[in-house]
A and B are shown apart, each in its own frame.
Chain A
């Protein structure tokens, strides 16, 4: 199986999970429409482009923007503001590497797969929402089929290399860009703090999606186990059940810390456990993104 077919497969999986989201699409489109048109939700035939509102001409406006037909109806001069004139650019980052490959027996997907599917689903949704999508670290955005494929390829190729946090060096987000980060965020909280702070300097709009394996939450192992982590970290626990509560406490502390960071920066945060239904999480995410759009504009 060559890489291309794998990419196709990955995309297919992502599409499969979004294809069953037509309701969500309609809803999200409706939300978007509501946001744009306010009470008068009428679609003009033949216009081809959704407009947002008519506004009185201001000197700062370009004359090309004047809607003459509307202006002719009254004494005032209106300009037609189109929706996407202020389209945001969405930049996607997805964690990858060894820790993301973990999959316990309780789930069907590894965290990596979960993250990839989630990310790609969001991309597809965004594409349908006519947002400009780009890969974090690059400046180019777009919403063409080619861009989608490129992102899918990016997600797939990335899965081999270790990338646990959005790198500071790649931080070239345009202003008002929307940052979506998918990962397990199991790095030490100080690293995460540092990283988030850097991102928050660039944009106020970000969405952190943390995917964790149920085993990482609950630590359901029994007996004597040698745990191996990154950088040859190794812990031998003689009786896992006896430390389960302590571990859960630590883990929830970590999650809470991330949550409060997001809260601090006004970001959205969602925790997806990989044995949960991706669709549900996706629906939630999409609602958050839509809301965010509404709120922010």
Chain B
């Protein structure tokens, strides 16, 4: 109790001094007794002169007095506005500066941070302290951090509420710069709402902030620390014999210098948020980063676009994949015969080693490679080939293949019959070093902006000793992707048809240069094969800057970039860390896409250590400051009502509400009640339980018509169907739900049964919108007018049909047709020719053209055979309807079968619409 009380703090403690007035109130209450009852009494004369011995009754009874004192005390205490779990005291009296950590790592803790910030703002505003807000990351498109303030409470709150975590790392330098720029003379207390990570030199930032006044540092529990997805060396690789079926990997990183075990689930997702696989792991911070492996079939692997840590919002938990991670099928042409001679110095060996991690490599002869439909074919120094093969290869290139050729002795010697080259070659090779040469081995000069290799670092030790030379021609310059220091082309490329031919003017092995031994070799090959499959008819590339295509927000969602986002400089692209100018996301051009991820180059995650001891450290709390005032005033009101009742009883007013006094009292009662209601905090409880319950299992649903008898019939009919489904199929509905479209969320139910009654109540526009939304987003409603025997022609003028028309008049229902004989509904589980319920002749109406997104499932099915009735009948109970049990046992069975088909149809869509069973079906249908 004491502990509980110590958590209460009064916002207006001055008011509590009114408690001192309680004795006065006591005195006043004591000397004014309650008004005596007045009674006409014939024998009054006999009372004359009689004096009662005791005087107590002239006062109010002591307990009434006590009650009133308690009421008075409660009102005083309530007006002093006590708050539970008050925010920690902010030291000092001067301004308060809130430092919001809003980098990528704060997405997970953002709610706690903002909540705490709001509390601090409210508290500071109560104490009349100025409020400043500063963030640790620059805003999108800005380089500098701006502090705002002094702010009013409202302004500060709206800034905090409008703030969002940013997907880039904190910039402590800019933060310190801004702190130093701000000249606030007063001593300012800083409240650092941290996300729990040290992104660089936090110690320095903290110290500088501390110098302006004090500093409170809020940090998070270890479980809430941010996680980061990092690229694995073999993000996507072939299925490995050793590792069983796993073929896709991603690393999960966690802060190092802390002990915590964080269970994570990582999803591999294709576009449109389709989940391809889920893997779970327990990230022990001591072993981080750990690899998470996925099992995705080979044909699906290429579809993986994103990895995501499930349940954790934030840019750090999202890893985008781009073309680089998609393995190309690369074929290396080689004649098997010469392979075995000296495998380690063969050109194909070098190529294979360079590209193996990034592509699926096949080594075979050219014909076979073309047959296998490779995206890239590499010809290491092949000078000639059969005409047939050449033609096939040319056709393949024209269709969009990428042909990468290396030079060598064979090529240099076959200049007379040049084929499939980007440039015309001069005869013979040019030797740049050697005993007979004056020239020195040439270096590669830095790549120009229109080269796909722009931005790659060129190692110093790469020198080219021999090359093939291109004939100077008019458009030669446009075809050159790389040059040597003397200006001669080193790599040239030219489009052919839809394809591309690239020539590297030296060998794929070390015969002519050191190129094959350098890292550049791998990078260059990687970039070349990335171009495969792109439309490269134009040889003009601008690789200098990659325009933003989609960028990520702080929560890891992609959105089209605003103008403030700068293009990505291709230089040192692979070492680039996202900034406020270039947030993580997808950059690129039409030809190539580059995914900029946080996890690629971010330094190891650390939590702040060795912070100055003089700062006030605290943790975010789960319980937030809560005003107790309304509850105390409520209690006072309740006691007041009690007092009022007691007074009524004492005064002996029998007709409680009809005397004028009683009416006044009633007014007295209602007035404070109304006031209290107005000060109660309003809270809206989301209908989450409903959502969770119905989202987690399959339920059959029906619309409550308001006709109790019909609703009961529908429910029992659906329960009967539900039993049947459970017995016969793998669909096992958890239950049957009656829905009220006015307030229920319909979206969890694939199929809704709507029995039409002529008493059908009219729904509001809101409900109709709800139903329309349901229909538009994949839902199916089956309308059943249940009146087939009363309508001779289809759906004309029965009362129920009118009711149906009334409902549908405000719904946007696509054109409907009588069900075609080959409709899926007739064979989604059972083969059915007709669809009987209690009646069996009415036509079933379905949508004419099903929308594409809904698997050809009709959004409405309209009929009048009263299926629920029949399902209900098959429960074996006597029907309470005026009709007797419908049809015979066979018809009831058929009705159940229709129900099964209906549910299957709603659940599986056009799955059974394929032609697989056609011959069998035809035979069964007797056609």
Nearest neighbor of B38 in chain A, beta-carbon distance: A226
Q: Which of A100, A227, A243, A246 contacts B39 (CB 8 A)?
A: A227
Q: Are A242 and B53 in contact (CB under 8 A)?
A: yes
Nearest neighbor of A102 in chain B, beta-carbon distance: B42
Q: Are B50 and A225 in contact (CB under 8 A)?
A: no
Taking CB atoms and an 8 Å cut-off, the chain B residues in 38-85 that contact chain A are 38-48, 50-58
B residues less than 8 Å from A239 (CB atoms):
52-58
Known contacts A235-B47, A239-B57; is A223 also within 8 Å of B37 by CB? yes
Q: Which of B40, B48, B57, B58 contacts A228 (CB 8 A)?
A: B40
Would you call A24 an interface residue if the criterion is a C-beta within 8 Å of the partner chain's C-beta atoms? Answer: no
Q: Are A250 and B46 in contact (CB under 8 A)?
A: yes
Q: Are B57 and A229 in contact (CB under 8 A)?
A: no
Give the B interface residue count (CB, 8 A).
Answer: 25
Would you call A240 an interface residue if the criterion is a C-beta within 8 Å of the partner chain's C-beta atoms? Answer: yes
Distance of A238 Cα from B54 Cα, bound (Å): 8
Would you call B36 an interface residue if the criterion is a C-beta within 8 Å of the partner chain's C-beta atoms? Answer: yes
Q: Which of B37, B45, B48, B54 contacts A225 (CB 8 A)?
A: B37
Distance of A236 Cα from B42 Cα, bound (Å): 14
Q: Are B52 and A227 in contact (CB under 8 A)?
A: no
Would you call B590 an interface residue if the criterion is a C-beta within 8 Å of the partner chain's C-beta atoms? Answer: no
Q: Are B42 and A99 in contact (CB under 8 A)?
A: yes
Contact count band on A: 35 or more
Would you call B519 an interface residue if the criterion is a C-beta within 8 Å of the partner chain's C-beta atoms? Answer: no
SS class of chain B's interface: helix, strand, loop or mixed? Answer: mixed
Would you call B33 an interface residue if the criterion is a C-beta within 8 Å of the partner chain's C-beta atoms? Answer: yes
Q: Are B41 and A228 in contact (CB under 8 A)?
A: yes
Q: Are B44 and A224 in contact (CB under 8 A)?
A: no
Q: Are A188 and B45 in contact (CB under 8 A)?
A: yes
Q: Are A224 and B43 in contact (CB under 8 A)?
A: no
Would you call A233 an interface residue if the criterion is a C-beta within 8 Å of the partner chain's C-beta atoms? Answer: yes
Distance of A247 Cα from B44 Cα, bound (Å): 10
Known contacts A237-B47, A237-B50, A243-B50; is A224 also within 8 Å of B38 by CB? no
A242 CB, min distance to chain B CBs, angstroms? 4
A55 CB, min distance to chain B CBs, angstroms? 52
Taking CB atoms and an 8 Å cut-off, the chain B residues in 331-348 that contact chain A are none
A27 CB, min distance to chain B CBs, angstroms? 35
Distance of A230 Cα from B46 Cα, bound (Å): 12
Q: Are A229 and B38 in contact (CB under 8 A)?
A: no
Would you call A125 an interface residue if the criterion is a C-beta within 8 Å of the partner chain's C-beta atoms? Answer: no
Q: Are A235 and B44 in contact (CB under 8 A)?
A: yes
Nearest neighbor of B61 in chain A, beta-carbon distance: A223
For A213, A229, A254, which residue has the most chain B Cβ atoms within 10 angstroms?
A229
For A219, A227, A228, A229, which residue has the most chain B Cβ atoms within 10 angstroms?
A227
Distance of A228 Cα from B650 Cα, bound (Å): 19
Nearest neighbor of B654 in chain A, beta-carbon distance: A105
Q: Are B55 and A229 in contact (CB under 8 A)?
A: no
Taking CB atoms and an 8 Å cut-off, the chain A residues in 22-78 that contact chain B are none
Q: Which of A215, A233, A246 contacts B50 (CB 8 A)?
A: A246
Nearest neighbor of A246 in chain B, beta-carbon distance: B50
Distance of A239 Cα from B48 Cα, bound (Å): 14
B residues less than 8 Å from A243 (CB atoms):
47, 50-53
Nearest neighbor of A248 in chain B, beta-carbon distance: B46
Would you call A145 an interface residue if the criterion is a C-beta within 8 Å of the partner chain's C-beta atoms? Answer: no
Would you call A84 an interface residue if the criterion is a C-beta within 8 Å of the partner chain's C-beta atoms? Answer: no
Would you call A294 an interface residue if the criterion is a C-beta within 8 Å of the partner chain's C-beta atoms? Answer: no
A residues less than 8 Å from B47 (CB atoms):
227, 229, 235, 237, 243, 247
A38 CB, min distance to chain B CBs, angstroms? 47
Taking CB atoms and an 8 Å cut-off, the chain B residues in 639-663 that contact chain A are 650
Q: Are A228 and B39 in contact (CB under 8 A)?
A: yes
A residues less than 8 Å from B43 (CB atoms):
186, 216, 219, 229, 247, 251
Known contacts A224-B37, A224-B58, A227-B39; is A240 also within 8 Å of B44 by CB? no
Would you call A234 an interface residue if the criterion is a C-beta within 8 Å of the partner chain's C-beta atoms? Answer: yes
Would you call A275 an interface residue if the criterion is a C-beta within 8 Å of the partner chain's C-beta atoms? Answer: no
B55 CB, min distance to chain A CBs, angstroms? 6
Would you call A221 an interface residue if the criterion is a C-beta within 8 Å of the partner chain's C-beta atoms? Answer: yes
Q: Are B54 and A242 in contact (CB under 8 A)?
A: yes
Would you call A184 an interface residue if the criterion is a C-beta within 8 Å of the partner chain's C-beta atoms? Answer: yes
Q: Are B45 and A233 in contact (CB under 8 A)?
A: yes
Nearest neighbor of B44 in chain A, beta-carbon distance: A229
A residues less than 8 Å from B38 (CB atoms):
225-226, 228
Known contacts A184-B42, A216-B42; is A235 also within 8 Å of B48 by CB? yes
Distance of A236 Cα from B33 Cα, bound (Å): 13
Distance of A239 Cα from B55 Cα, bound (Å): 7
Taking CB atoms and an 8 Å cut-off, the chain B residues in 1-49 that contact chain A are 33-34, 36-48
A234 CB, min distance to chain B CBs, angstroms? 7
B675 CB, min distance to chain A CBs, angstroms? 33
Q: Are A186 and B36 in contact (CB under 8 A)?
A: no
Known contacts A188-B45, A251-B46; is A238 also within 8 Å of B58 by CB? yes
B667 CB, min distance to chain A CBs, angstroms? 26
A residues less than 8 Å from B37 (CB atoms):
221, 223-226
Q: Are A238 and B44 in contact (CB under 8 A)?
A: no
11 A–B contacts from the bound complex (CB under 8 Å): A111-B42, A216-B41, A221-B39, A225-B38, A226-B36, A226-B37, A226-B39, A228-B44, A229-B45, A238-B54, A239-B53
**Chain B residues in contact with chain A, CB under 8 A?**
33-34, 36-48, 50-58, 650
Not counting A223-B36, A238-B52, A238-B57, a sample of 9 additional A-B residue pairs whose C-beta atoms are within 8 angstroms of each other reads A102-B41, A186-B43, A186-B45, A226-B36, A226-B37, A235-B48, A239-B54, A243-B51, A243-B53
Q: Which 10 A-B pairs have the closest CB atoms?
A: A229-B44, A99-B42, A239-B52, A239-B57, A242-B52, A243-B50, A235-B47, A224-B36, A227-B41, A242-B53
